[in-house]
Amino acid sequence: MFIEGKNALRQAIESKITINKIFVDKNFQGRKDEIINLASQHKIKFEFVPKVFLDKKSKTGHHQGYIADAVDFEYCQVEDILNKAKQHGEQPFIVMLDGLEDPHNFGAIIRSCECAGVHGLIIPKNRAVQVNETVIRTSTGAISNMLIAKVTNLKDAINTLKENNIWIYACEAGGEVIYNKKINQGVAIIIGSEGFGIKKSLLSYTDGVISLPMMGKVNSLNASVACGVMVFEILRQRLES
């Protein structure tokens, strides 16, 4: 995985993403440079190269003189998320993403979940966004503290969670308003894709549907916004229980 640009690279270093080497525009050699200083502090190898080298390697066209060769994000197992909750002496708090496609939404969800004390996320292996440079950048460092399990089948993951006494709720319109729902046990909520929501075949595996009240003419929220509201309401209830 390649990470391009000054801000993205700074966040990757601070997030403790494993970086093999940073390629730096040789025109920066000899000047005081934040990225070079950070790389030195974290004992990350860097190499000065011609700008044309970076231009050819760049996929975004906006490398700003920096491209890092980083190790792909290391996913965990569902059991690792359950063990994390157990180690903290807490009821499991999990978010599942069904077919999310926008990396900016994914990164924002990771950030909200980390702030709200979610123990981990579960995403499908296929037909969904994976952790990439944009996700890492948008999470603004939160990804380094978040467990993410990638599974072949979300239904199997739901069954595993149910075997561990975790309630599964789909976040969709037309369900019970979350502010009227008492949620202080082990819980996993499902956030659907931006365009299609949660698959109908998955809804039958849940323990219910929870919704946010809508007062405007638009009947849906951005996936990351909806997730943020949901997880912080659950956090509020957990803190008060």
Question: In this structure, are residues 97 and 109 in contact, taking their beta carbons and an 8 Å threshold?
Answer: yes
Say how far apart CA 185 and CA 203 lie, in whole Å: 20
108-126: average pLDDT: 96
Relative orientation angle of helices 6-14 and 34-41, to the nearest 10 degrees: 20
First to last CA, the chain: 43
Task: Write the DSSP string, 160-176.
Answer: HHHHTT-EEEEEEEEEE
pLDDT band for 5, please (50, 70, 90 cuts): confident
Greater confidence, 62 or 83?
Answer: 83
Question: In this structure, are residues 63 and 5 in contact, taking their beta carbons and an 8 Å threshold?
Answer: yes
Domains contained in the chain, CATH given: 2-70 (3.30.1330.30), 78-240 (3.40.1280.10)
The vertex-232 CA angle with 104 and 146, nearest 5°, equals 55
pLDDT band for 144, please (50, 70, 90 cuts): confident
pTM for this model (two decimals): 0.83
